[in-house]
């Protein structure tokens, strides 16, 4: 089974590292085939020129970037959504992972 790719975007690419780590732990415990990684908003376009993703999640601090990325990804059926402040603040990797999985199911 091919891994589904979840991109988590923040301003510098570092504030989401703990959330990504928690999401990876949740995926591993449930044996879900996900590749989860964080990028800074400035690196997204370069990444997308070369590789595909299945969902883009934006940190609350970069919610304004949805206007930039949604027109590029939504025509391809790739959801772009903002992580809830609550889940982000709690670094609730399990909840964010479940939500991302649901977003990908609706593609």
In this prediction, residue 6 has a pLDDT band, given cuts at 50, 70 and 90, of very high
Catalytic amino acids?
Answer: 10
pLDDT at 16 over 90: no
DSSP letters spanning 58-77: E-GGGGGGHHHHHHHHGGGT
Q: Check: CB of residue 16 under 8 Å from CB of residue 89.
A: no
Q: Which of 2, 9, 6 has its CA nearest to residue 82?
A: 9
Q: Which residue has the higher pLDDT, 14 or 6?
A: 6
Helix (H) or strand (E) holding 6: strand 4-10
Give me the domains of the chain, ranges plus CATH numbers.
4-105 (3.40.50.2300)
pLDDT at 76: 93
Distance CA 90, CA 22 (A): 11
pLDDT at 1: 60
The DSSP bridge partners found for residue 35 are: 5
pTM: 0.94
pLDDT at 2: 80
pLDDT digits (tens, 9 = 90+) for 62-82: 999 999 999 999 999 999 999
């Amino acid at each position: 089974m091919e891994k589904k790719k979840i991109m988590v975007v923040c301003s510098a690419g570092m504030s989401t590292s703990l959330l990504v780590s928690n999401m990876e732990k949740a995926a591993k415990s449930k044996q879900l085939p996900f590749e989860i990684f964080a990028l800074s908003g400035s690196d997204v376009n370069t990444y997308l020129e070369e590789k595909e993703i299945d969902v883009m999640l934006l940190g609350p601090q970069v919610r304004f970037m949805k206007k930039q990325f949604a027109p590029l990804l939504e025509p391809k059926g790739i959801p772009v959504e903002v992580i809830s402040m609550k889940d982000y603040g709690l670094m609730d990797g399990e909840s964010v992972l479940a939500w991302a999985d649901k977003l990908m199911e609706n593609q």
